[in-house]
Structure 1
Amino acid sequence: MKKRPLPPERPYGMERLLMRCPGQCAVCRAWSHSRVCRDCLQRYGRPVPRCWTCAAHLPVGLGGRESAQCGACLRHAPPLDRTIAALDYSFPWDRLLQLYKFHQAVDLRETLLERLSQALDCSAPDAPDWLLPVPLSPARLKERGYNQSHELARTLARRRQIPCDGNLLLRVRSTAQQAHTPLKDRAANVKQAFAVEPLRKAELRGRHVALLDDVMTSGATLFELARVLRQAGAAHVQAWVIARTPDGETA
């Protein structure tokens, strides 16, 4: 596939200013040159053993094995070839992600991307041909002002030299927010909610694709998108997420 040139990065002006200025750690309020200080990163950002295909926690003894899977994935194989999660969606990352997602705390983007980049470096996934963010509906995008997953994806793609396009996947049906939907109903909530841009399906045929989202809970959204990509001819589909909810919890 011929890779398209990536445009120069243009971070928000306020984000550039905040990145240069020391201030308080967003967690412990200690003086720090980054939004989360080194002590808090060591305390709350340590990697844990995870399932190869859904990133759920695994017992320590299984964590070092390549392709180790949880019981749920062994019983019912998900449509994802691999899932990489940087963090648990728990204190302090749950609050920080809420700030980033709903309150335009764009100064947290660098810290979140650093955690994901570190997880990718440690996991060494196959390099994808495309990095695609989970799309928002037009109404949700208008309400929020930006797609948080696209902001993360375009920056990560630029740094890793992976083509990224926020228009290749479409959300064709508005749905209730997954966070407000019971776990048992989430798969039905997003069923047939996504599509590939009809004129661009050929760009996915036989390709390796990585989906990027901020939080993974039940996996319903990412699983549905993976099914849509496979129907369009994608050969391999991964998911890269900032945070994965601990078993039995909701985002």
Structure 2
Amino acid sequence: MAVLIALGAFLMTLAGGWTAQHVTDRRHLVLGLAGGLMLGVVGLDLLPEALRTAGKEVFGVPAALLLFVAGFLMAHLVERLLATRQAAHGAEEHVDACTHGADDHRHRTPEVGLVAAAAMVGHSAMDGVAIGAAAQVGGGMVASVALAVIAHDFADGFNTFTITSLYGNARRKAIAMLVADACAPVVGAASTVFVTIPEPLLGGYLGLFGGALLYLAAAEILPEAHHQHPARSTLLCTVAGAAFIWLVVGVAGSG
């Protein structure tokens, strides 16, 4: 049952990635929408769930929030370290690229995109685990969780392809990460036959991942979206992305 539901998430993830691939002529709108989807997922889905399942306080602060901040700082640190390494080992090529006007990715390292996409894959695997856990509980829980996961996996596929491509990775790598992200819920759901992840551990992971995702949305995706096209339509796409996640969370919560 859980694996069959996860197959729905598989198809929705591929659909999201396909959509991201075929709107390249409106790149700023794609990035604006991706940023809104990511903000919505973090603020309306991941963080509330992290606080619910890992609400234990550490020195007066919920552990989930500490991990959220740690995830944000970790993403920033990883990007800075990789950018510094690229500058040290590829300064000559970088200057040459800028001389020829190829400046779209001058401050971006492909490794950051791959790491971010790998985190999305890990998150999708946890989605599959959530489906499996809900199936074990039974009742209406599995329908609610399945609706939430399948709906927002469209956004996951969209974001996975967009993030990987944004950092200058080849299209084949972006597609490979998209396929991995699509398969992850199925693998996660199947794993619940053998393993059950404790709720506090799952909540801590969601907090950490949420912080990293927020960094990518606020510091990378949205500034890039408005860099060359600071249009009202881009802002509307961002708002629409966040509103879509709100709708998904609301429908799932009332299910």
* TM class by smaller structure: under 0.3
Normalized against structure 2, the TM-score is what? Answer: 0.27
Normalized against structure 1, the TM-score is what? Answer: 0.27
Q: Which has the higher helix share?
A: 2
Q: Which has the higher strand share?
A: 1
